[in-house]
Amino acid sequence: MLSKPKYKICKRLGNGVYEKCQTQQFALAEARAKKTFKRRKNLSDFGRQLLEKQKVRYAYGITEKQLRKYVATAVKSREPAATLYQELETRLDNVVYRMGFAPTRRAARQMVNHGHVVLAGKKMTIPSHQVKKGEIITVREGSKAKPLFAGNKETIENHTAPKWLTVDSSKLTGTVKAIPEFVSTDTIFDLPAVFEFYSR
């Protein structure tokens, strides 16, 4: 698990990395900082690739070893970028986050670790588990009344899940109805740069 100061990371990698940095307050602070400090020098190719790799790592909360493993698997496929994106998006902790059951990926990871999530009828405690198309995810019956979920009922109901998921917020259940599609213009990640970094 990654625990470096989030605002410092956001300033270096961009506000899309962590949810707490996607606020108007952070945007205003960044605007003031740009007026105060001189513009950075242009990054080298290596520097750009490193930033993109770190952006993916911190956004999904995975280790260097995990990301390297995902990349090694993806490069063997016909569409490496799409495969890497799908592997990351279909992690159980990310799916729970995308369904709106948790405010952040880190919170979703803790939910899974603590046994609050049921996958295909069985309690699952492995955040990195790959969820397959058609599988049903639900909050464990004994956990639904806990403040973690009952206290966030309105937020969960108002959450808009991506098109590849169907969610019943009233029952705290959801289904992966399709494989997430990678569209480079719809993501903050430059995945080709990540592959370039590991191909050195």
Reported as a single tens digit per residue, the pLDDT across 25-70 is: 555 555 555 555 455 567 799 999 999 999 999 999 999 999 999 9
Q: Distances from the Cα of 128 to the Cαs of 108, 116, 182, in angstroms?
A: 11, 15, 19
Band (pLDDT 50/70/90 cuts) for residue 127 is very high
- How many residues can be counted in the chain? 200
Three-state secondary structure call for residue 67: helix
Domain span at residue 164 reads 91-176
Establish if 197 belongs to a structural domain: no
Question: Which pLDDT belongs to residue 187?
Answer: 85
Using CB atoms within 10 Å of the CB of residue 70, give its burial: 0 to 12 exposed, 13 to 18 middle, 19+ buried.
buried
The CA distance from 149 to 126, in Å, is 20
**Residue 95 and residue 27 share a domain:** no
Question: Which pLDDT belongs to residue 94?
Answer: 97
Task: Considering only residues 38 and 143, tell me which one the structure prediction assigns the higher pLDDT.
Answer: 143
Is the pLDDT assigned to residue 2 strictly greater than 50? no
**Residue 96 and residue 27 share a domain:** no
The helix (run of H) or strand (run of E) holding residue 24 is helix 24-36
Question: Which pLDDT belongs to residue 171?
Answer: 95
Establish if 63 belongs to a structural domain: no
The helix (run of H) or strand (run of E) holding residue 60 is helix 45-60
Beta strands 165-168 and 136-139, pairing class: unpaired
Establish if 83 belongs to a structural domain: no
Averaged over 152-173, what is the pLDDT?
94
> Is the pTM value of this prediction over 0.85?
no
Reported as a single tens digit per residue, the pLDDT across 115-126 is: 999 999 999 999
Domain count, the chain: 2
Establish if 47 belongs to a structural domain: no
Establish if 69 belongs to a structural domain: no
Beta strands 136-139 and 122-123, pairing class: unpaired
**Residue 98 and residue 25 share a domain:** no
CATH of the domain at 167: 3.10.290.10
